[in-house]
Chains A and B, each alone.
Chain A
Amino acid sequence: MSGFRDGQMKALRAKISQMESHGRNRAGVMSLGDARLDDCFPGGGLPLGQWHAFTGEGMEAETSACPAAFAALLAAPLTRRGEAVWILRRDDLFAPGLAGLGFPADRLIQVCARDEAEALAVAEDALATVGISAVFIEVDAVDLVAGRRLQLACEARGSTGLVIHRKPWGGASPATGTGSAAASRWRIRPAPSLPPPGEFGLGPPRWQASLDRCRGGRPGTWLFEADHAYSHEAQDGTHPLRLVAPLGAGELVPATPFQRSA
């Protein structure tokens, strides 16, 4: 594509996105550090000022360790702009674990809500507050009205919401099939880790993340690795999630290990 056409396309895209946002100020995007990933989103990166949904499967739908870790690392660079709030229904989030993955746990305020409605109300309140850049919300389901309200709260200050769908203990599976106001919807599965060559034990945590739905973008499935997990390199500025390999639709994590691309 020639340079001129490139510029034209960019200008047109900007115009369309402005029309789509009804004149509201868009909060911009955040690059995820890999062009293969950023290209899937309309603005060339994870859209901010909107909310994203994360779901686990099987056991993880209830324990929700992998979706929480993935969401935390995805939004970790946002904590440089402001505080993060994590709204829990059950007080089992262990801050040293988050810190070990490379999430700055000292920028995190934890709130334990008594029920779903209260969790969503607190989330709305926190999203509309200046000085807060990311809000993590652990709830069972977000219906259309609640989702729309979250979206309006996100647009108020440009903060980003990360909804972690979590089934209550022994409850029914979250109904994520209905339409929602989420900007993107992710499904996170744990993936076998790969210990460094010649070493025993577990490698850095890996996840298979499927971007099931993305407004104005393309879905996809990727294999991610926590790049700075359990090391002192957490402050080097790169995105803490490293894309190991794209996976085809419905494809499982390959049994043969991929080569680590540095």
Chain B
Amino acid sequence: MRRIHDLDEAALALGLFAGQKVADAMALVPDLHLADAEPEADDRALAALVDWCVRFSPAVAPAPPDGLFLDISGVDHLWGDEPGLMQDFGHRLKTNGLGVRLAIADTPGAAWALARFGPDEVIASPGEQARALAPLPPESLRLDPADTAQIRRLGIHRLDQIMDLPRAPLTRRFGIGVLTRLDQALGRSREALTYRRPPSPWFARLALAEPVSTLSDLERITTDVTARLCARLETSGQGARRFELTFHRVDGRPESLSLGLAAAARDPVRIARLFHPRLETIDPGFGIEVVTLRGEAVETITGRQIGLEAGRTHAPEDGLVPLLDRLTNRLGPERVWRSTPVDSHVPERSVRPGPVLSRTATRSWDPLQPRPLRLFRSPEPVEGVIALTPDDPPRQFRWRGQVHRVRHAEGPERIGEEWWRGPIETVSVSHVRDYYRLEDEAGARFWIFRAGLYDPAVAARWWMHGLFS
């Protein structure tokens, strides 16, 4: 027997309904246009719609067969407010020929109910779920049709009637399902949505017939799974900059290692060799039965042609990139860097550890401003400073227990605070530094500063910030 799965607005206007027998419908409307239902195609269309909705929120979950959830926490301000977001969303869908009903509520359950049984484009204000849901029918609870029919048979036609019932008898009669759905709709219990994420196609998996646990076996399966993923990367001309190797143990616990590369690569031998020294940290437990490798940050890399005059110039891929990968993975990424200029006159801020491979020679530090070769992370106190007048460079000072007599001096170079960085209340003249370049009688050159402006009432504090060569 064929029944109507779904129907359009014109058919609804004629009094037909979903679930009706086709024969009955044909009797009412002889020239009814029929098409076979295709649930798989509906699912695919819903998935495509979910992917499209990522422009509104990063977290979108399908609610089959005909709905979807958008988690709009923290994104509605991009459209001004929630009505603005909803208006834009509905307008775009309707322009594309999709009939939609929208609702915004605190919980997925309440939004589901309001979108289907409430007024269109309704927004339940925060904490007002119970009032918004009260007039809705029991079907809005996402229950089995049998449960809904039972509830209706008891003379319950509105949700507020269920809300008023004592909970224990309700559970005894209908099972825990009704209360769970009600609590989820009212925000009294949590509900997990399965958000759709873009899948990573760069994934290789190796299942083992017998669990392995020795180090040499781990090395071998690492090499095998790397070769498998890299072969796929090579056929499509891609390379990955991050790899995540996961060993799935027999007891279900995963053990992961991740690897970052300076440039995208797909050389299986090199990548496996970067993993090998770190396999010792893996605890195999009772054995490892599955190993997976995921490639992330995948980008196109082109094969390099070996020139006829090979050996004259070396491309970075020959030696530099593998070296940097070895170093960053052995020492940690924060221990290998290239100093990059930053537009700041505060000395400790004028350098930033930059990406180790990309060289940005667009601008550099001003060579006319002498800067020390060694800069101390925290300035060291200088004592016994003798100067002719308060603003004169020191004539003599003591640092690390040694007295230095100054022969030549340069300064002051006044470096103020970057007041725009912090709260304005913390800005103070005591953060101004007056730097002097000093050379003592032996020729050693220092960079010392006096903190704050000169104040006859307060003893000046002097600091050693670096050493010139």
Within 8 A of A (CB), among B311-328: 314-316, 318-320, 322-324, 326-327
Task: Return the contact of A99 from the options B320, B367, B443 (Cβ within 8 A).
Answer: B367
Which residues of A sit under 8 angstroms from B466, Cβ to Cβ?
94, 97
The reply to whether B443 and A101 form a contact with Cβ atoms under 8 Å apart is: no
Does B78 touch A at the CB level, under 8 Å?
no
The reply to whether A108 and B335 form a contact with Cβ atoms under 8 Å apart is: no
Within 8 A of A (CB), among B28-52: none
The reply to whether B467 and A96 form a contact with Cβ atoms under 8 Å apart is: no
The reply to whether A97 and B335 form a contact with Cβ atoms under 8 Å apart is: no
Does A20 touch B at the CB level, under 8 Å?
no
Produce 1/0 per residue, A78-121, CB < 8 A to B. Answer: 00001100000001111111111110011111111110001000
Surface stretch bound by B, among A10-18, A147-155, A171-179, A201-209:
A201-209
Which residues of B sit under 8 angstroms from A97, Cβ to Cβ?
371-375, 466, 468-469
The reply to whether A108 and B338 form a contact with Cβ atoms under 8 Å apart is: yes
The reply to whether A234 and B437 form a contact with Cβ atoms under 8 Å apart is: no
Task: Return the contact of B408 from the options A98, A100, A131, A202 (Cβ within 8 A).
Answer: A202
Does B410 touch A at the CB level, under 8 Å?
yes
Least Cβ distance of B259 to chain A in Å?
17
With both beta carbons as reference points, the residue of chain A lying nearest to B357 in the complex is identified as: A109
Does B441 touch A at the CB level, under 8 Å?
yes
CB-CB under 8 A for A106 and B335, given A92-B376, A97-B375, A131-B314 = no
Task: Return the contact of A98 from the options B320, B350, B373 (Cβ within 8 A).
Answer: B373
Which residues of B sit under 8 angstroms from A110, Cβ to Cβ?
336-339
The reply to whether A68 and B469 form a contact with Cβ atoms under 8 Å apart is: yes
The reply to whether B323 and A69 form a contact with Cβ atoms under 8 Å apart is: no
Does B409 touch A at the CB level, under 8 Å?
yes
Produce 1/0 per residue, B147-166, CB < 8 A to A. Answer: 00000000000000000000
Does A59 touch B at the CB level, under 8 Å?
yes
Least Cβ distance of A159 to chain B in Å?
10
The reply to whether B374 and A92 form a contact with Cβ atoms under 8 Å apart is: yes
The reply to whether B375 and A190 form a contact with Cβ atoms under 8 Å apart is: no
Which residues of B sit under 8 angstroms from A200, Cβ to Cβ?
410
With both beta carbons as reference points, the residue of chain A lying nearest to B399 in the complex is identified as: A59
Does B351 touch A at the CB level, under 8 Å?
yes
Task: Return the contact of B443 from the options A122, A189, A195 (Cβ within 8 A).
Answer: A189
Does A192 touch B at the CB level, under 8 Å?
yes
CB-CB under 8 A for A192 and B443, given A112-B331, A129-B320, A205-B469 = yes
Task: Return the contact of B373 from the options A93, A102, A126, A232 (Cβ within 8 A).
Answer: A93
Which residues of A sit under 8 angstroms from B445, Cβ to Cβ?
65, 190, 193, 202, 205
Does B356 touch A at the CB level, under 8 Å?
yes
Produce 1/0 per residue, A180-214, CB < 8 A to B. Answer: 00000000011111010000111101111000000
Task: Return the contact of A69 from the options B337, B367, B371, B373 (Cβ within 8 A).
Answer: B373
Least Cβ distance of B371 to chain A in Å?
4
Which residues of A sit under 8 angstroms from B364, Cβ to Cβ?
99, 105-106
With both beta carbons as reference points, the residue of chain A lying nearest to B350 in the complex is identified as: A96
Within 8 A of B (CB), among A202-259: 202-203, 205-208, 226, 229-232, 234, 253
Does A53 touch B at the CB level, under 8 Å?
no
Q: Describe B's contact surface by its main secondary structure.
A: mixed
Does B370 touch A at the CB level, under 8 Å?
yes
Bound: A234/B368 CA distance, A: 11
With both beta carbons as reference points, the residue of chain B lying nearest to A62 in the complex is identified as: B400
Bound: A60/B445 CA distance, A: 11
The reply to whether B469 and A66 form a contact with Cβ atoms under 8 Å apart is: yes
Does B304 touch A at the CB level, under 8 Å?
no
Bound: A201/B407 CA distance, A: 9
Does B402 touch A at the CB level, under 8 Å?
yes
The reply to whether B336 and A109 form a contact with Cβ atoms under 8 Å apart is: yes
Which residues of A sit under 8 angstroms from B359, Cβ to Cβ?
106-107
Bound: A113/B356 CA distance, A: 16
Which residues of B sit under 8 angstroms from A157, Cβ to Cβ?
319
The reply to whether B371 and A100 form a contact with Cβ atoms under 8 Å apart is: yes
Bound: A112/B160 CA distance, A: 67
Which residues of B sit under 8 angstroms from A229, Cβ to Cβ?
370
The reply to whether B324 and A109 form a contact with Cβ atoms under 8 Å apart is: yes
With both beta carbons as reference points, the residue of chain B lying nearest to A60 in the complex is identified as: B444
The reply to whether A109 and B356 form a contact with Cβ atoms under 8 Å apart is: yes
Does B361 touch A at the CB level, under 8 Å?
yes
The reply to whether A101 and B469 form a contact with Cβ atoms under 8 Å apart is: yes
The reply to whether A190 and B443 form a contact with Cβ atoms under 8 Å apart is: yes
Within 8 A of A (CB), among B408-440: 408-410, 437, 439
Does B388 touch A at the CB level, under 8 Å?
no
Bound: A64/B364 CA distance, A: 25
Does A132 touch B at the CB level, under 8 Å?
yes
With both beta carbons as reference points, the residue of chain B lying nearest to A126 in the complex is identified as: B323
Does A70 touch B at the CB level, under 8 Å?
yes
Bound: A151/B21 CA distance, A: 90
CB-CB under 8 A for A130 and B469, given A65-B372, A94-B375, A202-B439 = no
The reply to whether A231 and B316 form a contact with Cβ atoms under 8 Å apart is: no
Does A39 touch B at the CB level, under 8 Å?
no
The reply to whether B372 and A125 form a contact with Cβ atoms under 8 Å apart is: no
Does A31 touch B at the CB level, under 8 Å?
no
Produce 1/0 per residue, B368-400, CB < 8 A to A. Answer: 111111111100000000000000000000001
Which residues of B sit under 8 angstroms from A60, Cβ to Cβ?
444
Does B146 touch A at the CB level, under 8 Å?
no
Which residues of B sit under 8 angstroms from A131, Cβ to Cβ?
314-316, 318-320
With both beta carbons as reference points, the residue of chain A lying nearest to B365 in the complex is identified as: A96
Top 8 closest pairs, chain A to chain B, by CB: A69-B469, A95-B339, A201-B410, A130-B319, A190-B443, A94-B375, A97-B373, A96-B365
What are 12 A-B pairs at a CB distance below 8 A? A70-B469, A94-B371, A94-B466, A96-B371, A97-B375, A99-B367, A111-B335, A111-B336, A114-B331, A189-B442, A191-B443, A226-B469
